[in-house]
Amino acid sequence: MSYEVISDLLAMGGRYLRIRHTSSTLRCDMVFGVFLPPQASDDHPVPVLYWLSGLTCTDENFMQKAGAMRMAAKLGLALVVPDTSPRGEDVADALDGAYDLGLGAGFYLNATEAPWQMHYQMFDYITEELPELVKAELPVTDSWSISGHSMGGHGAMMIALRYPQRFKSVSAFSPIVNPMACPWGRKAFSHYLGDDESTWQRYDSCYLMAQITDPSGYPPLLIDQGDADNFLLQQLLTENLDAPLDSAGYSAEVRMQPGYDHSYFFIASFIDDHLHFHAEHLGLLD
Residue 189 predicted with pLDDT over 90: yes
pLDDT top residue among 95 and 21: 21
Q: Which of 143, 204, 229, 281 is catalytic?
A: 229
Q: State the pLDDT at residue 16.
A: 98
Q: Is the pTM of this model over 0.75?
A: yes
Q: Tell me: the pLDDT tens digits for 2-56?
A: 899 999 999 999 999 999 999 999 999 999 999 999 999 999 999 999 999 999 9
The enclosing domain of 212 has a CATH number of 3.40.50.1820
**Catalytic-residue membership of 93:** no
Q: Tell me: the pLDDT tens digits for 111-123?
A: 999 999 999 999 9
Q: State the pLDDT at residue 29.
A: 98
Q: Which of 262, 274, 278, 281 is catalytic?
A: 262
**Catalytic-residue membership of 44:** no
Domain span at residue 105 reads 3-282
Mean pLDDT over all residues of the chain?
A: 97
* Angle, CA of 140, 142 and 143, to the nearest 5°: 95
Q: Which of 150, 169, 174, 205 is catalytic?
A: 150
How does residue 1 score in pLDDT terms, banded at 50, 70 and 90? low
**Catalytic-residue membership of 150:** yes
Half-sphere exposure of 50 (CA within 13 A, CB side): 30
Tally of structural domains, the chain: 1
Q: Tell me: the pLDDT tens digits for 143-172?
A: 999 999 999 999 999 999 999 999 999 999
